[in-house]
Every structure is written in structure tokens, then in C-alpha cells.
Chains A and B, each alone.
Chain A
């Protein structure tokens, strides 16, 4: 069964460093998303991506964040200068259509020290 994959599973970084979180969405899906979940809290939307451009972004997704689909399979989230409050689980998701069910990857736990 096709699934969304994410790498790495855990990333530890120093404050101020850049990180890139990687995702491989399900191959025939067209819509891609990043969400984050601070420990013990709800899942929050960051950004959606369709047709090689950002469809929507939340107020969390400020200038420190960027997304890219560098090739036909990968979907990346970059945080340019990490802050302590960026520590969270980051989930990638994909769906066939904008209102279809989204399938989530296993997440990348980002720890900023």
C-alpha cells in the first residue's frame, strides 16, 4: 500500500541553524501539506502546495519557512534559522484532491537546542 515517507525521523539542531525536512508524498497525489504538532498539542496547518506553488499558508509559516518540490517525488520544508519554539513534530501529508482524505507521513521530530 502506498504511503507517505519522511526523513529524518528525528533531527536535533542548534538555534539559528537551517534545517531541511524531507517528504516523499504518495506518487499520484497532487496536493501536499505540512503540519506541525508541538508536544501534547493539536496538529496545526503550516502550508499547502499544488501545481508547484504554495496554495495557502498559515500565520505560523513566516519568512523563515519555505517549501519546495525539487523533483517529481520529494517535497521539502526548510526552516532558515531555527528557534527554540520550532521544536515540534512536523508532518507531511498528501491527497489526490483538495478535499479528499490526507494521508500523513510518520513525522519528523525536530528538536532545537
Chain B
């Protein structure tokens, strides 16, 4: 079973539309960390956000916002008023602690969602 599921393989929107990228995770740990990374066409992995499992407050950073819901094991990412420069593959990732034999800080990535923003 996948620990991080990004069910949307590809999403295409027109500039200025809002778009939400879904991420569902699975873990037995009570302490864990969730991340989003952006991979633009140039290929590098750009860190966007890190949340720990005890902080369920939603976060907003400019046009980006994140909705963390432990009840549904989801950590969704919304881009408001999308722009062409937002076109990229977005990865959600999980880091578990070692209580249940998880790895020390290693990131478990989802398969990614490719977002295309058209002008």
C-alpha cells in the first residue's frame, strides 16, 4: 500500500484559476511530518512547506495555501489565481519517526501531480 497517494496524475487549468492538489497519507506514527516540493521543468526539487502532525493550522503563503486534516489523513495544497510559472510537478512527501520502525527523516514521496497552467 502506498504511504503517500496523489490521486491526480495531471491537472490542466487556465491562468487565474484556483487549483487544489490532493495528498492522502498513511502512517501509524503519532508524530510525523508532511512536505510539499515543486519540480519545475528544469528538474530541481524546490521545498515549499513542512508541517508536523501536531500543527493542524492551515497555512497561507502568498497565493499558496495548505489544508492539513488529520481526520482524513490529507494535506492538500491550493494555488490561488494560478500563473504559467506554477506549471510543474508537485510532490507531497511524508517523514515518519522511528517508533514503528520508520526511517529517520527519510522522505516518502507520492507519485506527483503534474500541473499545467495555460495562458
A-B contact count (CB 8 A): 65
CB distance from A31 to the nearest CB of B (A): 6
Indicate the size class of the contact surface on chain A. Answer: 20 to 34
Complex contact B111–A98 (CB within 8 A): no
A45 within 8 A of B: yes
Complex contact B43–A43 (CB within 8 A): no
Indicate the size class of the contact surface on chain B. Answer: 20 to 34
Q: Which residues of B contact A58 (CB under 8 A)?
A: 106
Complex contact A56–B106 (CB within 8 A): yes
In the bound assembly, the distance between CA atoms of A42 and B93 in angstroms comes to 10
Classify the interface of chain A: helix, strand, loop or mixed: strand
The residue in chain B whose Cβ has the minimal distance to the Cβ of A100 is B50
| Residues of B participating in the A interface, judged by any CB pair closer than 8 Å | 33, 35, 37, 43-47, 50, 52, 91, 93, 95, 97, 103-112
